[in-house]
Each structure stands twice: as structure tokens, then as C-alpha cells.
Structure 1
Amino acid sequence: MSETPVLLDMAGPAHGGQTVARLDGQVVFVRGALPGESGVPVVLDPPTKKSFRTGQVADVAAIAAPSPHRVAPQDPATVAGAGCSDLDIVDAAGSLELKRQVVLDQFARIGHLDFAGELADVPVEAVSPEPFTGYRTRVRLGVDGQGRAGLRRAASHDIVALTDIPGGASAQWSPALADGLAGELAAVELTPGAEVCVAVGDDGVRSAVELTTTGRGRRRASGRRVLTGTGTVTHTVNGVSWTVPVEAFWQAHQGVPALYSGWIADALADDPTAPGHVPGERGACAWDLYGGAGVFAAALTDAVPGLAVDSVDVESEAVAAGRAALDGRDIRFVAGDVAKKTDALRSRGGLEAIVLDPPRTGADKSVLAAVVKARPRHILHIGCDPATAARDAARLVAGGYRPAGMTVVDAFGLTHHVEVLLHLVAVTGDGDGTVRN
């Protein structure tokens, strides 16, 4: 890094938690800065062959005009060196607006969908689910060479032990997840190099398991040891309870499953005055792609009585929990790669909706092509990365769909991560049903 800071004025946020500035016309991505700040002392990283520079705020106290949303670091784990909360210097209102700008920028630049221009009539909401801190109900920890559980350092595999963090927890963690956890794990003999998964259910009951892997190739073996509790936790959404293993996928923020289920219900409400309302008879079926435990499949059947839902995902503990929780509903769990299973899904009577909740890399192009070909009345896309969500949206729009509403969700307070809920509806005379690059 250079020794002498340069003073820069910040523009808008960049995807990834940095802020954009310019130096002699060159773009600089600055860590630790916030949009709109001016007179920011920045220590530049050494130049590379790339067309932009990067840098770090040198002294927060020396910023001439700090953002009104700037706060002291909120996560003791980050102060101790862990990389879990890379945006803990902004309050809830500032975080939500920052992420809203990032999403709109990514959709405009990558998806060529301008919600401030040609799509200005499409409602765009931004939601910060409560609570902003203390929201996380599950965490994966590493175990260092001394057998201590902890969080990984930023951009490193090194571990910051919980016992070295003031309070022994991250500010992201819910009180029921955090209270006494450091001491509880310190009292257990852990395997160096293992992972420890900890989760707390809606009833406040916490459990932890250790996961180990030995060997390589065909001799690779995995082990699971319950450290505390039963190895499972229970979550309840809209009256349905799922009992899932601690290490199984479940939404990290305690309020998100109900929030997203409500969004699905609102999107499918048969209200002729609602934005994006699709006239005509309802379809008889729906698909929940990358469906996991089937929370969204349940939301679909709640939203449209009599709807038959196929939920597709690779076989996992979460899928098994969904089968048990939703037994008796017309929900069929189809195990396998989503890209290879769409031809086997129910579509007779027409498709009312398809829910897409792909991984951070976005949906496979062949999956998007199958969605367009199936021609549901509604597509409900849940994106956990704004760049790949924008790419997916562009392909769906090219296939004959139009955004009816978008919701930006700050589901990961204190971090740069953001989720995007996009409701698309089928249109006529727009596109030829082909998903393009």
C-alpha cells in the first residue's frame, strides 16, 4: 500500500461492499468508505494491470464530511479480525439505501432493465427485516489447530477463536444462538480442521454438530458428531413446522421465511387492480425450483387453494424434512438436478406460477429456457446475488416476461450481501419465448 493517503470524494456504492471514487479520471474502489462521503483519506493499494485502482480508508476520524449513516463498528468479531461483517459501519437505513442502489445499478448495467427509466412504472420496494442485528439463527464455524472453534479471518482460512472475540459471538447472531456458545464449545474436545455447525430453533433450543472429512477420492469419508442438543432444530412458518438437521440449509435470517412466503401470497393474489395482474383462469399447477425444504411450495399451496406443486432440488436433509413436514399436501418432492428434471414435472391444467430460488451463481440457462417454455402466468425469482439475478431477469424478459414488482431485501445486516425478489408476469407480443445469452 502507498504510504501517503490521497483525499477522495465518494460517489455511489459498488457491488461487494466497496464505494466508488475517482482519481485523475480513474475509478477507485474504496474499502471502508460510504456513498456520499467527501474528503476521505485513502491509502491506495499497489497498481495492477487492471483499469481501476483499489484502496482503504486510512483514518475514519479524518474524513472531512462523513456519511450521516456512518456508525462505529458494530461487530466485535470483525474488530477482532474475522471477515463475517464487512459492512458493519453503517446503520440500518443507510445499509438498505446502499443495497437498493447496488441492485438497481446491477439490473441496469447487467440486465439492461432500467427501473428509473423504461420500467419506472414498476413498483420497487426496499425492506429491512427486523432485527437488523442479532438476526442469524445458524452458523458454520471452523476449528483451528488447537481445537478451538471460531470464525475465519477476512480472505483467509485462518481462524479467529470465539474465545478471542469480546462477548464470544458475532453481532449478527441471535441472542439464543450466541449466549454461552463460546464457553459451551470450549468445553468440548473438537477435531482440528473440522467444521462446527450451530443452529437454534424458533423455540430457542440450540444444537451443535461437528462435521469431519478424512481421506481423498473414493476413500473420502465424512463423519458427524452431535456436540450439544439433539442435532436437529425446529422452525415454524405459517403454522407448519420443519425439524431439520443443524447442518441442513435454512434461511439465515429468522424473519425471512415468513417474509418471502407473504411476498409469494401477495404476488399471486387475484386482484385485478394489482400491478402486473394477469387476467384469465388460474393454472392448476406450480413449480418450486431449487425448493429445498419446501417452504415456498407450502406458500404456493396456501396462496392458491387446490394448487398442485412440484418442488425440485438435489436430495438433502432439508428435502427430507420437507417431505415429513408437508405430508398430506399436494406437494411432490422431485429429487435431482433441477436442469434435468423439468421435463418430468406436472403442467396439466396450466402453470399458475414458478418459484425460482437458485444458488448465488444464478439459474442454469437451460432451467430458464424450460421456465419460459412452460409459460407460467407468474415467475417469482428469489436472487441472493444482484448480478446473477439481473442476468437471469434479462433472459426471462427476452423470453416474453415483464417485471411486475421488485423488492430489495436487506436479509444480511452488517454485510454487503443483499437479496432480490422479482415478480415477472407473462406478456403477449413481447419476445419469442427464447432465452438468449
Structure 2
Amino acid sequence: MSPHRRSAPPRPPAPVPATPEYVTLAVGAPAHGGHCIARPVDDPSGRIVFVRHALPGEQVRAVMTEKNAKIWRADAVEILSASPDRVRPVWAEAGPGGVGGGELSHVALPAQRTWKRWVLADCLRRIGGAPVVEAVSALPGAEGGAVPVEPMPGEAAAEADPDPRVRARAGTGTRTRISLAVTESGEAGMHGFRSGTVLPVHELPLAVGAIQDLGLTERALWRKHFRPGMRVDAVAPSAGEPLVLLEDGGRSSRALTVLTATGRATGRRRVAEVVDAAGLGLGELHYSVHATGFWQAHREAPTVLVDRVVRGALAEEPTASGTRPGDGPLDAARMAGARVLELYSGAGLFTLPLVALTGAVRSLEGSGRAVADARRTLHEYAGAELTAGRVTPAAVAQLGRFGTGGPSGGDGADVVVLDPPRQGAGRGIIQAVAALNPRRVVMVACDPAALARDLGAFLGSGYRLAAMSALDMFPHTHHFETIAVLQRD
């Protein structure tokens, strides 16, 4: 995931009716973005309302939150007929009228993954069209036009635990990075959904234990540092103590203060991350990341993504499933000399294992800070050429030409790995990648709509979809990650 996704400015407040307007809705299928498609109970063919905090098949009483010529939105505030998949929300403060970021916490985890699979299938059908649906449907395990959305290992284990208390907490305590804002009264808070208003929060159930133990929402230790409008980030790396980052001032000149877990100022600006790559035969991988830099937020995401993406890129047979029982490490001798182009490479999460296995990776990333992080991590690898700059068709064409001598016999990259920001790579970048004629492309996507568009462009450029997997890396939200492996035979 590219650093471009780390944060976005809050949206301006949505237009809300002057007086509360309530409507009784029959709730239908999920829609991309965490809503369900609903219509008034007394007018089944009436205007579509995108309702949050509901479930397919329910009848709800909802309050309108936005009405304009293009879209109507509402929050379900009373459940008149409940779905069997409804559970007690794990984060009530992200419920109706609350903060964004936990919009599916009222949905049982298996049903959340079904929800996301429906959304994936819908995007592939509506945006990708028939060629994409046919390509996905031909994959093993794909039903209904989409692959299953898989739980992360920790969530799968928690859901199978015999202790009901463990099962009830599944999907919580996973985030190693969280962002807060300070309210006008000096409390820790978060922005309301589609709003510039900061609402106070009193619990952080999705954060890992090391962040929850800081007590950012309740301890006076932190309140004395907070100023209205301040941004507060908590970082809990896989190695070392957590840090609290305070950013104050305007967007163009934010002053950064870094505090230890005990609230003391520190000059520490970097964190160490360790990724288990034993399945690839690489043991532990060590990264150095700036405290404000982008890193995958789910505690297991770096390990799972490295295993799946690198094996997908370099295994003899294309796969998006990662290391399976009985699989051996990747054959380094077979991969030696393979030329890899990596786009939107971030802080080098994939670059390190790719160059360790092949000896030759060229990467391109738009964030200078992320490239500086990657250079610190990869300084011992002469075959890693790290470039800071925008990913453009011209840049892809220039960096992707390695000269003759690679396994494919041409002068272009043998393998391309790309992990674009939420809006996807786009047709121009994909055409530039296809012009290099790599035998394999691995694409990571965090938005199903962008994935559908980009898959359509790759299929139209002579590639076939060889493998795909979807990962529920963001439980209790509508987000998920997809890995697609494309092959040119």
C-alpha cells in the first residue's frame, strides 16, 4: 500500500437536514463504502437510500444524514427486524452519528467477509464488465463472480477458539497505527463520518494492546500535551516501545513532537519493524521506518502480504495463496537474474525480499520520505535501484528497460509488482507496464472499484488472470485488500 494512503484531509461537513427526518427502510444488498442499498418500506420502487449500520434483509428506522440531487444517505437508529448476522457492536462510538472507521462492528465477522465478497463481485461486474467476471469466475474457489475474502490468521484462530470471550473479541486489537484529533475541549477524538467535526472517543478497541495501554483517551498524562485541532498518532512497531506523535499547526508547517509511552519527549524518530519471511526461505526481515511514515496497520499484514506477493511474483507457478503446508522455500538459483520492476514501492516492504531473492530490483515511489526509509533498509543490496518520483507512463518505460540478458530474453522487466494508492494505477500506467512485456504482474489493490478497472485494462493488454486472493485486513470496516496475479504466456 502506497504512502499516499496514509491520511486524507477530512471532508467538509455533509449537508444535513435542518430538522431530523426519519424514514422506515427495507434494507437490501451492501454497496461499496460501507452502506446498504435501501428503499422506503411503503414504496419499494422509490428513491434509493444508502443506509449505514444496517444489514441486508433488515427493516430499520433511519435518520437522514444527507440529501442532495445525486445521493441520499441515512443512519439506522432503530432495528425493527434484525438480521441473524447482527451482533452487539464492538465499538459503539463508531455507530450512528459517531466517528468513522468502525462501520461494520455490528456485523458478525464471517458475515463481514460475505459482505465484502458481495461488494467485490458487484464492482467486478459493474466496473470490470464481462471479461473480468469471466476471468475471475474461472479461478478455483471463485463463486458468484468473486473469490472468498479470507480472515487474517489471528482472526481465524480467535473465531475458532473454544472460549466465547475470545471469539467475541475477534477482529479487535489489530491496528498498530491509529490517528486521533483533539476536540475543542482538549479531548482525544476522531472525525465524524464524512465530517470535519471532531467527536470525543473513550475507547480504541481496534488498536493493539500496546496502544490501548497508553490510555490516550482517558489519562491526564496526555491531556496536558493536547491542544485543540492537534493531530495525535500512536505507533506500536513490532520491535521496540510505542511512540506518540503530536502534530500541531497549519498543514504547511506542522510542528512534530514525539513522546515515549510515559509521555516524555524523545529525539527518536524511527521505528524498527520485523517481518517473518520464513515461508520464502528468508527468515526475519528487518526494516527501518520513520515514525510518521506509512506501514501496514494490521499487525499481521506485513508478514502475510510479503509471503503472498513475493511468492506470487517469483514462484514457478502463479499463486496468490502464499506459502502452503508442504511448500518449500523459493528456489533462489532459479530466480537469480530475474529483473523486477516495483511501482508504488513505499518503504520497501516488498523490495527487500524481492532483491534478496533475485539480486535486481528497480523501484519507483512518489514519497521521498518512504524512499529514504527504503534506502536505510536496503543499503547493503547493490542490486536495489530506488527512485523517488511520480509513477508515470514515461517513468515506467524508462525504468522498466533493463537491457538484454534476463530470463525472458527481452530488455524489459521479467516481473512487475505494483501496489498503487486507492485510486488504482490507471490505464496509462497499465499500458506502459504491458509494453515492457513482463511474463508476470502482481497487483495489490485496496479498493475493489479501482481493482475492477485495472483488471479490465490488463486483460485488454494481453494478460490472463492466473490467481487472486482477497484478505480481510481491516476487520469491522468495509475495507479489504486484494492480490491479483497476471500472466502472459
User: Which of the five TM-score ranges fits, normalised by the shorter chain?
Assistant: 0.7 to 0.9
CA contact (8 A) 1:148 1:186 kept: no
Distance 1:214 1:44 in 2: 33
CA contact (8 A) 1:77 1:170 kept: no
Within-5 A mapping of 1:410-421: 410-421=472-483
CA contact (8 A) 1:149 1:186 kept: no
Distance 1:46 1:308 in 2: 52
CA contact (8 A) 1:176 1:204 kept: no
- Secondary structure, in 3 states, of the residue corresponding to 1:211? strand
Equivalent residue, structure 2, for 1:434: none
Distance 2:187 2:65 in 1: 33
RMSD value, Cα: 2.8
- Secondary structure, in 3 states, of the residue corresponding to 2:137? coil
Distance 2:285 2:313 in 1: 20
Q: Does 1:152 align with 2:188?
A: no
Q: Does 1:68 align with 2:81?
A: no
Shift of 1:335: 0.9
- Secondary structure, in 3 states, of the residue corresponding to 1:234? strand
Within-5 A mapping of 1:169-184: 169-182=203-216, 183=219
Within-5 A mapping of 1:30-69: 30-35=51-56, 37-42=57-62, 48-50=68-70, 53-60=72-79, 62-63=80-81, 66-69=82-85
Equivalent residue, structure 2, for 1:6: 24
Shift of 1:263: 0.9
Equivalent residue, structure 1, for 2:151: 128
Aligned pair in 2 of structure 1 residues 40, 332: CA closer, same or farther (>3 Å)? same
Equivalent residue, structure 2, for 1:97: 114
**Range with greater deviation from structure 2 (236-245 or 338-347):** 338-347
- Secondary structure, in 3 states, of the residue corresponding to 1:104? helix
Aligned pair in 2 of structure 1 residues 7, 311: CA closer, same or farther (>3 Å)? closer
Within-5 A mapping of 1:91-240: 91-113=108-130, 117=134, 119-123=136-140, 124-129=147-152, 130-131=154-155, 132-162=171-201, 165=202, 169-182=203-216, 183=219, 186-203=222-239, 205-214=241-250, 220-228=252-260, 230-237=268-275, 238=277, 239-240=284-285
Aligned pair in 2 of structure 1 residues 413, 311: CA closer, same or farther (>3 Å)? same
Q: Does 1:284 align with 2:323?
A: no
Shift of 1:358: 0.8
**Range with greater deviation from structure 2 (95-104 or 311-320):** 311-320
- Secondary structure, in 3 states, of the residue corresponding to 1:110? helix
Q: Does 1:299 align with 2:353?
A: yes
Equivalent residue, structure 2, for 1:359: 421
Distance 1:16 1:273 in 2: 31
Q: 1:16 aligns with which of 22, 33, 38?
A: 33
Q: 2:302 aligns with which of 238, 257, 260?
A: 257
Shift of 1:401: 1.1
Q: Does 1:404 align with 2:466?
A: yes
CA contact (8 A) 2:319 2:485 kept: no
**Range with greater deviation from structure 2 (247-256 or 348-357):** 348-357
Distance 1:54 1:73 in 2: 21
Shift of 1:380: 0.9
Aligned pair in 2 of structure 1 residues 11, 156: CA closer, same or farther (>3 Å)? closer
CA contact (8 A) 1:195 1:211 kept: yes
CA contact (8 A) 2:186 2:223 kept: no
Aligned pair in 2 of structure 1 residues 45, 184: CA closer, same or farther (>3 Å)? closer
Distance 1:46 1:150 in 2: 23
Shift of 1:413: 1.1
Q: 2:435 aligns with which of 370, 373, 376?
A: 373
Aligned pair in 2 of structure 1 residues 331, 77: CA closer, same or farther (>3 Å)? farther
Shift of 1:84: 2.2
Aligned pair in 2 of structure 1 residues 248, 354: CA closer, same or farther (>3 Å)? same
Once the two structures are superposed, residues 123-169 of structure 1 have per-residue CA deviations (whole angstroms, 9 ceiling, x without a partner) of 3342121342211001222123344332222222222334xx1xxx3
Distance 1:138 1:46 in 2: 30
CA contact (8 A) 1:77 1:171 kept: no
Aligned pair in 2 of structure 1 residues 184, 290: CA closer, same or farther (>3 Å)? farther
**Range with greater deviation from structure 2 (417-426 or 26-35):** 26-35
Aligned pair in 2 of structure 1 residues 320, 197: CA closer, same or farther (>3 Å)? same
**Range with greater deviation from structure 2 (116-125 or 225-234):** 116-125
Shift of 1:231: 3.4
Q: 2:398 aligns with which of 335, 344, 348?
A: 344
Once the two structures are superposed, residues 169-216 of structure 1 have per-residue CA deviations (whole angstroms, 9 ceiling, x without a partner) of 32211111111332275254234322222101113510012223448x
- Secondary structure, in 3 states, of the residue corresponding to 1:389? helix
Q: Residue type of the partner of 2:244?
A: A
- Secondary structure, in 3 states, of the residue corresponding to 1:404? strand
CA contact (8 A) 1:115 1:122 kept: no
Aligned pair in 2 of structure 1 residues 334, 30: CA closer, same or farther (>3 Å)? same
Equivalent residue, structure 1, for 2:325: none
Equivalent residue, structure 2, for 1:320: 372
Q: Flag structure 2 segments of 5+ consecutive residues without an equivalent.
A: 1-16, 141-146, 156-170, 261-265, 278-283, 322-333, 407-411
Distance 2:368 2:207 in 1: 25
Shift of 1:49: 3.1
> Where has structure 1 moved over 6 Å in runs of 4 or more?
273-276
Q: Does 1:247 align with 2:292?
A: yes
